[in-house]
Structure 1
Amino acid sequence: MESMIIYMPIAAAIIGLLYMLVKKSWVMKQDAGDGKMKEISDHIYEGALAFLKAEYRLLAIFVIVVSVALAIVSMIVPSTHWMIVIAFIFGALFSAFAGNMGMKIATKTNVRTTQAARTSLPQALKVSFGGGTVMGLGVAGLAVLGLTAFFILFYNMFMVSGEAFSTDKMTIVLETLAGFSLGAESIALFARVGGGIYTKAADVGADLVGKVEAGIPEDDPRNPATIADNVGDNVGDVAGMGADLFGSYVATVLAAMVLGNYVIRDNGAVESFSGMGPILLPMAIAGVGIIISMIGSMLVKIKSNDAKEKEVMGALNVGNWVSIALVAVSCYVLVKWMLPESMTMTFFGEADKEISSLRVFGATIIGLIVGAVISSVTEYYTGLGKKPILKIVQQSSTGAGTNIIAGLATGMISTFPTVLLFAGAIWGSYAFAGFYGVAMAASAMMATTAMQLAIDAFGPIADNAGGIAEMSEQDPIVRERTDILDSVGNTTAATGKGFAIASAALTSLALFAAYVTFTGIEGINIFKAPVLAMLFVGGMVPVVFSALAMNAVGRAAMEMVQEVRRQFRDIPGIMEGTGKPEYDKCVDISTKASLKQMMLPGLLTIGFPLVIAFVPLAFGMNNLMVAEMLGGYMAGVTVSGVLWAIFQNNAGGAWDNAKKSFEAGVEINGEMTYKGSDAHKAAVTGDTVGDPFKDTSGPSMNILIKLTCLIGLVVAPIIGNGHDNGSGTSSPTGKTECCSVDGKCSKDDTCKDEKACSSEAKACCKKETEKECCAGKEEKCKDCKAMVNKCDMSECSKMNAEQCAAMCDEKGCSEEEKAMCLSHYDAEGNWKGDE
């Protein structure tokens, strides 16, 4: 049974994908409505597909260029295996396919939701959430399938069958697997930025000219930008969000696996699953999470045709909370099954601290709590009727300026509880099980990704359904029902972005810890001027990135505004409904502008860490100093990026719902105020500022910080103290065999210079005998038997004589050296130590 656990995530992924296909078939069999509805839906589908085709053609060039660069690096640098190129290509392909699949089903579900709303609200929810479920299970299933398949492939390539488990060889497996995650996040970056620019250029153009200048309702068929606006909902909130969480899912599991390998190497957790329990645990949780999300999605339903937003939100919460509860139970079972009863870890400055494996379970519970609570915090600052929204509404009465001031303040203050929540989660999960606990907290939180994505994708589907109802002039009851779903969708979109920020924050911290283990540095010392300088540079990058994204939206929106004004001016009969707008021209403007403008932010994200990593090396700077500099840069990007993501997401969401508050009517200074009033126009202006905040630059922060840390992880073996691709014996933590107990390099044949040595090396130089090494150095030479020739006695103490002999053969010990190692065992082959 233990030997089959590696295949369990693949089996779960296949089950999830099969269920997804069944659900997709059911959705596609639903009635798509009358001819006019189908025509509008086809416009949206074709516009979205045209954007994706153009985007993927551009990204194909990017993937080819990066693949060639990785191939050259793998030929020059022994620590990078050429299979990382294959992993990168497939990571990009899987991510692109997941986004494409989700967008296609969303653009086919929208019109079916409109038609279902003509029948009943429960049926409309069933259809729209069914489309979201297809998206969620598709993304999660492909992520787990791809990651697990490549792990098995690399495991069989690098790990020799029948030999004792080797953490050094597992390090090669995981370093190569990082290419898959890098490919996924690279596609996610451009999908998020490009999709965000597209959707907001159309949205801002449609709102400024349509609502403010022409005074026509949202989604009015007379507005030439309406189709582009609805297309944007799909390329931004469906394809973009899908690629974002696909990347988070993969990166989280990878980071936890890397730190699990570190747990095995330095803390001896080798009692179960061939010594791979801590590595396989996050994969197992991800696989189980897919099955649980299937169960949760089946529970989302309402019965009453008179249900309101509260009942619909309650139905979604039932599925979500049941999924979280079942994941908690599953984590307990898997931790008890896959981890030894106790492990030793080093954290809070205390080395070799023995802890119960149940503390890892405690860390997973923290991750699940964060994933649930972050939604409530986000809802408070962005939800209709909440106190912060009502304050913005009140300040809209004095104009757009005060509306914008109130929205900015709301976004800023929302960072306070959110960051405290993240800080508590980081501290708590670390206190439970070190950085492995932090990674497992992130893994548990991401286990319900399929369910979270289903809820997220439901929002833009409902939004599109309302737009189709408006443009096809359906009965008012149809629009009323779709508006209920859309209102809930706005809330889930905001909370979904909060979940994405939380996942990015914990994932990036886990990747950062994995980076430290790969480079061999002991930490990031900000008292070193180059490190402190890079910390500031890293803090700057999210601000510059946001500026580039906002400017891109502004330039594209200007083109859109001018085109919409031209059509209103030059095409006779548009306002009377007798002239037909040129929808395709607006779609074309958004497509071209988004593809052109997304390149600079992307190059900034990828280029900066590479420059920091390789330019100093070219000038002869010490490897470990460069590793610390890059670590400082990554820390700066992570902290600043999380803050900017929270601020922009919540400010934008608050402006959006402040505007929507006027649809039902709000009381300002004792008087009811509605759509069309001066206060409403001020709120619309505020929303046009908030739109790129919450849908372009804000969500892109998540991928910026994850991709930065992933690039660091990929280059870590090159700039740090990594292994030599299987030919040598150094470890992922840099404590090489050629280091003395004093942390000074012996400079023998295998240790060329001091760069290879750790400041806290426990191992003795392999050319010294055990007795010479430990004489007078009892505190520094652990147990006075840290090293005998090439063999680590702390590892031998966990083996029998036969396993030790195998390890000696693997390390190339002479017969004399092998006999010295075996002298530590009794006649039955059991460890006896020094006598």
Structure 2
Amino acid sequence: MDILLLPPLFGLAGLVVAFIIYRIIVSYPAGEGQVAEIAALIHKGAMVFMRREYSILGLFLLVVTVLLAIGFGGWRTPVAFVVGALCSATAGLIGMHTATKANVRTTVAAKNEGAATALNVAFYGGSVMGLAVAAMGLLGLGALYLWFGGDPHHAEAIHGFGMGASTVALFSRVGGGIFTKSADVGADLVGKIEAGIPEDDPRNPGVIADNVGDNVGDVAGMGSDIFESYCGSIIATIAIAATMTMLQWQQLAPEREALMFAPLALASVGLICSILGIIIVRLMSANAPAMALRSGTIGATLILIGAAYFLLRWQGISAAVWWCVMFGAVGGIFIGLVTEYYTGGKPVRLIAKGGETGPATVMIAGLATGMESVVVPVLVIAGIIFATAAVLPEGCGVYGVGMAAVGMLSTVGITMAIDAYGPVADNAGGIAEMAGLGEDTRKITDGLDEVGNTTAAIGKGFAIGAAGLAALAIIAAFIATVERHVPGFALRLDDPRVLTGMFIGGLFPFLVSAITMRAVGDAAFDMIKEIRRQFKEIPGLMEGTAKPDSDRCVDIATQAALRKMILPGVLAVASPVVVGFVLGPQVLGGMLGGALISCVLLALTMANAGGAWDNAKKYVEKGNFGGKGSDVHKAVVVGDTVGDPFKDTSGPAMNILINVMAIVSLVIAPLLA
């Protein structure tokens, strides 16, 4: 059998396993009465938002496809672009549809069968998302690679796949982030602080929109985010191998094609390791949830490291490349553990203590935590880059960076499963509260949700580190591609054009952060006014004898998200094109370098500060420093509402922003001559 058939076949196998897990999920009881009604509202709101978002995105993709066809005068790059967009959108839809089926079944399992079964159902819900991301990436990229025959001259066309995936990811992450955080902020500020009612109280009109947002932002959006980094790292590594000189590739492998195929082969093995990781979590579900989930992640990574050695040696590739894979895989775990400390350890308790003197000290402590949390992950990323250059022959270091990124992302199936588990568990708790299922059920769902908050924070840290490495690999591929088409091209720090580009690139993360933060603030303002209006004008709402108009709140969040997501998307896609063709490839190369550094630093700061504020609130709600309803609680709720757009809208947008800018630059690189 042709070895090039393996990645798409593994992708199909991954989809089959995902479908089997989905059938297991829907075999659990979905409840009846009020539980079923609430779940139906969440599912309906999520699907309506996705349909409307994808209809707008479809028009944008059509315009870009036509421009690519005109620019390249051929069909390969536009086709790859469309395939990448469809694969990303499909993975997001599969994951979100499954999450909205798993949430209510987790609630019912918590009520009827206990914590272990509830953990299994919630984790299965996340597993479908994880496997869909890995499988659709392998299926799409593997099919294109097979179609183009691994020809180095046609490798540039595959870059279009990454551009399609990144474009969908940006719109999904930004649109979903604006939706979920406008609803979350509005529901929290009016419900908890003004009305003095619990989180997820059925009287709160914004609660359904908040739960819908968990799915469209933290499941579909996060899935698209990881998908584009996963595919981007593979594409960049293929591109780097395709542009290596004979002297370079002969130091690593007997054939160039072996180096080009290696990232796809490694990702295929990584899918199997992810499935084994899912099995490990299932076997350990009787233990503490955090231990079971961590065992699955670390177990899958260790299996991958061992399997990668034999895979690369079987292909005749130097053992030095295996070291690069190991550096990336271990570095990903280390970044996750550091993130876990800053969003769940001593810094969280210090932020909560700051609430004793009011919201201002909560804000100061949270920002300090976010800034400090940048140090170790950035040193890890720098260490990975330095180590890969040290073990590989001179001139081959950038290929090592690409393989390190692939190593970090190869077990994306289990990593994404654990991340998507969080929103499912969060939704399960919301449904339990709204349906009034009692303290025992809520205690189980709260325990699962608490672990989910930590896993989601770890997932964000991992996503940022992976996006940074993937973007660096894409930028290296961009430089190599431009060098092939533009004689004498070089990026030098003493070149004013490069320095100009670096400063231009450094401003984009701040501009996009400002746009997305303001979008959440404006949408939350409208949401707060609507929730206040309903509490004031609907007779019996506070007494619990009348039902809130949840559809109105869902519509406000939807309209805001769809309206505000367009400008960041256009900026990310258009800026490399304008800078590249107007100011030249040197300015564009500098712009990518400046944007990469700013994006990684800003993303880590916002994601970890937001996660720490969120968990500080939950620490107080468990009875510390006065517990729910106290002045300390009100102070940490303010911190949490500021942290919401930090960690779930603007911070995650940074990952995708740099990858979109890098992949668009890589696609247009052959045209810059």
**Above 0.5 in TM-score?**
yes
3-state SS of 1:218 partner? coil
Matched, 1:133 2:114: no
Q: Any idea what SS the aligned residue of 2:469 has?
A: helix
Match of 1:498 in 2: 461
Match of 2:532 among 558, 565, 568: 565
Q: State the Cα deviation string for residues 769-826 of structure 1 (Å, max 9, x = none).
A: xxxxxxxxxxxxxxxxxxxxxxxxxxxxxxxxxxxxxxxxxxxxxxxxxxxxxxxxxx
Cα gap change, 1:542 to 1:421, in 2 (>3 Å): same
- Determine which structure has greater relative contact order: mean sequence separation of CA pairs < 8 Å that are 6+ residues apart, divided by chain length: 2
1:569-588, aligned counterparts within 5 Å? 569-588=536-555
- Rounded to whole Å, the distance in 1 between the matches of 2:331 and 2:640 is 29
Distance of 1:303 and 1:136 partners within structure 2: 19
Q: State the distance in 2 between where 1:660 and 1:252 align.
A: 36
In 2, the alpha carbon distance for the partners of 1:177 and 1:325 equals: 30
Q: For the Cα contact (< 8 Å) 2:501–2:586, is it kept in 1?
A: no
Residue of structure 2 in register with 1:609 after alignment: 576
Structure-1 residue corresponding to 2:5: 7
Report whether the alignment pairs 1:365 with 2:326.
Answer: yes
- Aligned to 1:190, which of 164, 168, 171? 171
Partner Cα distance (2:42, 2:249) in 1: 56
- The whole-number CA distance in structure 2 between the counterparts of 1:432 and 1:546 is 37
Does the 8 Å contact 1:225/1:586 carry over to 2? yes
Equivalent in the alignment of 2:148? 154
Aligned partner letter, 1:630: L
Equivalent-residue separation in structure 1 for 2:388 and 2:628 (angstroms): 48
Whether the aligned pair in 2 keeps the contact of 1:151 and 1:173 (CA below 8 Å) is: no
Counterpart among 694, 706, 710 of residue 647 in structure 2: 694
* Aligned-pair CA distance for 1:526: 2.2
Which residue number corresponds to residue 645 of structure 1?
Answer: 603
- How far, CA to CA, are the matches of 2:350 and 2:543 in structure 1? 38
Q: Give 1:629 shift.
A: 1.1
Structure 1: 4+ residue segments shifted above 6 A: 270-273, 302-305
- Considering fraction of residues, name the structure with more helix: 2
CA distance in 2, matches of 1:438, 1:426: 6
User: 1:260 aligned to 2:258?
Assistant: no
Instruction: Give the match's secondary structure for 1:172.
Output: coil
The residue number in structure 2 matching 1:397 is: 356
Structure 2 segments unaligned to the other structure (5+ residues):
none
**Does 2:296 correspond to 1:319?**
yes
SS of 2:97's equivalent? helix
Per-residue deviation, 1:272: 6.8
- Measured in 2, the distance between the counterparts of 1:224 and 1:241 equals 26
Q: Which runs of 5+ in 1 are unaligned?
A: 76-80, 160-169, 341-356, 617-625, 667-671, 721-835
Q: TM-score, normalised by structure 1?
A: 0.78
Which residues of 2 match residues 149-548 of structure 1 at below 5 A?
149-155=143-149, 170-263=151-244, 265-269=246-250, 275-301=256-282, 311-340=288-317, 357-383=318-344, 386-433=345-392, 434-520=397-483, 523-548=490-515
Question: For the Cα contact (< 8 Å) 2:18–2:127, is it kept in 1?
Answer: yes
Alpha-carbon separation, structure 2, partners of 1:102 and 1:607: 29
Matches within 5 A, 1:599-638: 599-616=566-583, 626-638=584-596
> Shift of residue 57 of structure 1?
0.5
Whole-Å separation in 1 of the counterparts to 2:137 and 2:267: 9
The offset of 1:258, in angstroms, is 1.2
Q: In structure 1, how many angstroms separate the alpha carbons of the residues matched to 2:190 and 2:30?
A: 31
Cα RMSD (Å): 1.5
Does the 8 Å contact 2:502/2:591 carry over to 1? yes
What SS is found at the alignment partner of 2:243? helix
Question: Any idea what SS the aligned residue of 1:299 has?
Answer: helix
- For residues 648 and 554 of structure 1, the distance between their equivalents in structure 2, rounded to whole angstroms, comes to 16
SS in 2 for 1:260: helix
Q: Name the SS of the counterpart of 1:85 in structure 2.
A: helix
Contact 2:241 2:249 in 1 (8 A): no
Aligned residues of 2:179 and 2:213 also touching (Cα < 8 A): yes
Count of residue pairs brought into register by the alignment: 664
CA offsets, 1:540-567, max 9 Å, x none? Answer: 1101110000000000000000000000
Equivalent AA in structure 1 for residue 195 of structure 2: A
Tell me if the contact between 2:421 and 2:452 (Cα under 8 Å) persists in the aligned partners: yes
Q: Residues of 1 paired with 2:211 and 2:277: CA distance?
A: 29
Distance 1:189 1:534, change over 3 A: same
The amino acid that maps onto 2:482 is T
- Displacement of 1:296: 0.9
1:111 aligns with 2:78: no
Contact 1:264 1:270 survives alignment (8 Å): no
For 1:189 and 1:36, locate their aligned partners in 2 and report how far apart those are by CA, in whole Å. 36
Percent identity of equivalent pairs: 48
User: 1:535 & 1:702 partners in 2: Cα distance?
Assistant: 18
Q: Which amino acid aligns with 2:335?
A: I
Alignment-derived partner of residue 353 in structure 1? none
Asked whether the equivalents of residues 285 and 292 of structure 2 are also in contact (C-alpha less than 8 Å), the reply is: no
Deviations 1:513-538 (A, max 9, x none): 10111000664112121221110010
- Aligned-pair CA distance for 1:601: 1.1
Matched, 1:63 2:61: yes
Q: What one-letter code is carried by the residue in structure 2 that aligns with 1:149?
A: A
Q: Mark the CA change 1:495 to 1:572 in structure 2 (over 3 Å): closer, same or farther.
A: same
Q: Distance in 2 between matches of 1:446 and 1:594?
A: 29
Shift, 1:334, TM fit: 1.4
Q: 1: CA distance between counterparts of 2:5 and 2:285?
A: 43
Deviation at 1:271, TM superposition (A): 9.5
Question: 1:493 is aligned with what amino acid?
Answer: A
**2:572 alignment partner AA:** T
Relative distance call for 1:277 and 1:493 in structure 2 (3 A) is same
Note the C-alpha offset of 1:717: 0.8
Q: Partners in 1 of 2:567 and 2:638 — Cα distance? A: 27
Give 1:263 deviation, angstroms: 3.6
Contact 2:580 2:588 in 1 (8 A): yes
- Contact 1:9–1:288 (CA<8 Å) still a contact in 2? no
